[in-house]
Every structure is written in C-alpha cells, then in structure tokens.
Copies of this chain bind each other. A is one copy, B any other.
Amino acid sequence: MSLVTDSLRFEVTRLGPPPVASPMAGVKFVADDARVLFHGSLEEVRAAFEAGETPPSFEKAGPRERLFFDPATLTCGIVTCGGLCPGLNDVIRAIVLSLRHHYGVRRVLGFQYGFEGLIARYGHEPLDLTPDRVEGIRQRGGTILKSSRGPQNIPEMVDTLTSMGVGILFVVGGDGTLRGAQAIAEEVARRRLAISVIGIPKTIDNDISYVVRSFGFKTAVAEARRALNSAHIEALGARNGVGLVKLMGRDAGFIAAYATLASGQVNVCLVPEFRFTLEAFLRLLQDRLARRGHAVVVVAEGAGQDLLGDSLLGRDASGNQKFGDIGLFLRERIREHFDGLGIDANLKYIDPSYSIRSQQADADDASFCLLLGQNAVHAGMSGRTNMVVGVWRGEMTHVPIPKAVSQRKRLDVDGWEWNSVLASTGQPPDLW
C-alpha cells in the first residue's frame, strides 16, 4: 500500500492518570508505554537509530494494569454509522462481552441509527445491551443498532452523552464518522469532561490509513470472488462473452485487486489508483476477445472517474464525493464499441455490492472483530481517547484519529500487490 510516512507522530491522547487497578485476572498486562515499530525493515530502523532518531512507532494496544474509569460506576455507549459491513454485530458483541466479563461494566447503551441516536429529538431510544441481548447476533449480517449516514450536531451529541452519563463512547464507522468522533472528542475536551471516544475503523474498502486491515474486508473479498466466478462462467458460456463486475472501492482498489488475485479468472482489473483511457481499455478487450473469445473485467467504483466528465455532482449525506457510475458507463461504452465493429459481444453485468455488504463475517473476520472490540475496550478503560484501534505488522495498535483520517490508504501501483494483479490478469502495466 502507499502512504506518506514522513515525520510520523502517533501520540495518543489520554484523559488523565489512571487511578483504578484493573480487575482482570490471569492476563499479561501490556506496559503502558509499549510501542510497535512502524517499519518492519531492519535497514530503515537501523538508519534511524544511527541518525540518533527514534524510528516511528504506534502505541501498542492491550489490557493495562491501571484504569481511568471505575467499572462499578461506568456507563458505556456504542454507535454504528455509515453503510453495512460484515462484522458489525461481531464488534458490538465483543465490546459488550469484554466490558462485562473482563471489567464488570454492567450498563452499555446501544445508540440506534448512527449519530441520529445521539440526538434527542430523533427519539431513537438506546437499546440496553446485555450479554443476553447480543447472544446469537454474530450469526447474521447487518447491525442490530441500525445505522445512518451523515454528521449530526456535535454539541447536541455531547449533551446526550453527558445527560446519560456515558463514560466511553465506542464509534464504529468510516472516514466521515471518525471525523465526527474526533469532533466529539474535541468538544468533550473543550468542556473538560471525562468522556473517552474510541473508534473502530469500518471501511469495507480497507482504505483507512495506518491500519493494515479493516474488519469485513476479507469477507468482502470472498463474496466478491463468488461474483467473479459467476462472471467467468457467464463469459465462457457465450461467443464473445464479457463478464463485467463492479466492486466497491471509491478511493482504493483493494477489494478489486484481492478478489482478482483470489479468483485468477480476471483479464482486466481497473482500480482508482490506475489511470487508463477508454480507448486503450477497449483495444485491450477487443484483442482479448479476438484471441480467446471471452473476458472478465473488474472495475472498482472509483476507477476511471476522469472519464465520466460532468456526471460528478457534489457530495452525499456522509460527505463523500458522489461518484459517477463507472460500471454502467463501461457497460454502455463496451456495447457501443462492439456494435460499431459489428461484433456481437455478449456482455453480462454484475453489481454485487449489497450482497457483499450484508454478509455475516467469515470465521477470520469474526475472530478479528473480537480482537478489535476487546482492544477498544482496553483502550477506553485506560483513559485513551480520540483514537482508533488498528492492526500493524501483526500487532494491535492505537492510532490517533487525526492520523487515521489524514489521508486514504491506497494501492501502490509500483508495489507487489499490483504487480501480482498484472501477472494474474496479463494486462499491460499501462493502459494509456
């Protein structure tokens, strides 16, 4: 992946000194200041030390020996925002069970319909999230807390937290949501309140910076592979069969790239990080059909936006830039192109987006969500705030929200992932 990594500082804010001893038993506590190296390369780290500098690093996640909050009197809240993503219910359950079983916290409020649930006038009553209430919720997709898009008034939300006595607010959401969480944390600081705001980054596109993997991503790739297989079967079944699949990926093509690698049946993979011209693409496709008689094309939703001209129309309710539909655009252009040539191309278009988003987390995401939820609880209990829980080089970490939202993580088109995609598809390194 490609990230700007100059002068990294990943200092996490704390609400204050932790006066309470943790009740957790039989566990190795993590030293309060333990840190995880940003770089895995011996050479880079050696260079830093030789230059007398400390190499960049993250705070390490995990249970701390001393807590900021007293579990006996603590109330927590959870809110899920934005589009569905496999694993939301797993994260909710993990937070509730860790609060109860690791710490003995008894009151957990589930705010409904995203940030709306924190605005009194919507009238969405919070759920009482007991262990019984979250039993069995992992077996289904979606979120029992429901969701909504878009920001809400920050002071009003802090008013709700105060009036309900919430000590830790867990916010599960993407880029826009995390900016909202940051704003809440800042308003909390302004009012000098003792409320921790802990984010669990949710991006099915896997494009949150400084977090190697986001929950639901692997499940999404697995379901996307199913769609690619359908496209392959359809393409094979007809003369000049073209299977065209649009996948998620607004700014980053991780889903499209990994589904391509997992499938091995894709002939052209188009992602936002890879610029191409319509002409070069159509030429490649035409050549492939001439040689083999069928083709599978995958396009991430954010790819080729420059081709769409003036169809870009502002921002949606979550503040994300609206995207022109590259899938439908390519479908029409491909049809026109082959009609113009008198070739009877059989194009089958598949857009599996909602089938992917609504899946139950697969086994690997399920245990990953468990870790995310548990470490979010550990972070909140120790008094951290304005941070998300992440994973880096196999270790769970704390990442300040301002860092996490500072830029999108993107595929490095000069890196090994994209190189493997090119090797797998056989497409040329540029389509220009």
A170 within 8 A of B: no
- A39: chain B residues within 8 A (beta carbon): 37
A57, B37: Cβ atoms closer than 8 Å:
no
Bound-complex Cα distance A400 to B116 (A): 56
Bound-complex Cα distance A37 to B264 (A): 32
- A133: chain B residues within 8 A (beta carbon): none
Closest B residue to A58 by beta carbon equals B42
Bound-complex Cα distance A263 to B138 (A): 9
- Determine, out of A71-79, A220-228, A269-277, A379-387, the stretch whose residues face the partner at the interface: A220-228
Of B34, B42, B146, the residue contacting A238 (CB under 8 A) is B146
Contacts A355-B350, A429-B26 given; does A233 touch B148 at CB 8 Å = no
B42, A262: Cβ atoms closer than 8 Å:
no
Contacts A139-B139, A222-B363 given; does A374 touch B37 at CB 8 Å = no
A46 within 8 A of B: yes
Say how far A146's CB is from chain B's closest CB, in angstroms: 6
In this complex, the interface size class of chain A, counting residues with CB under 8 Å from chain B, is 35 or more
- A35: chain B residues within 8 A (beta carbon): 41-43
Bound-complex Cα distance A374 to B420 (A): 9
Among A34, A42, A243, max chain B CB count under 10 A is at A42
Closest B residue to A348 by beta carbon equals B354
**Interfacial residues of chain A within 250-268, with CB under 8 A of chain B in the complex:** 258-259, 261-264
- A243: chain B residues within 8 A (beta carbon): 354
- Identify 7 residue pairs between A and B in the complex whose beta-carbon atoms are under 8 Å apart, listed by A's number: A37-B45, A40-B40, A40-B393, A101-B423, A222-B364, A258-B363, A263-B366
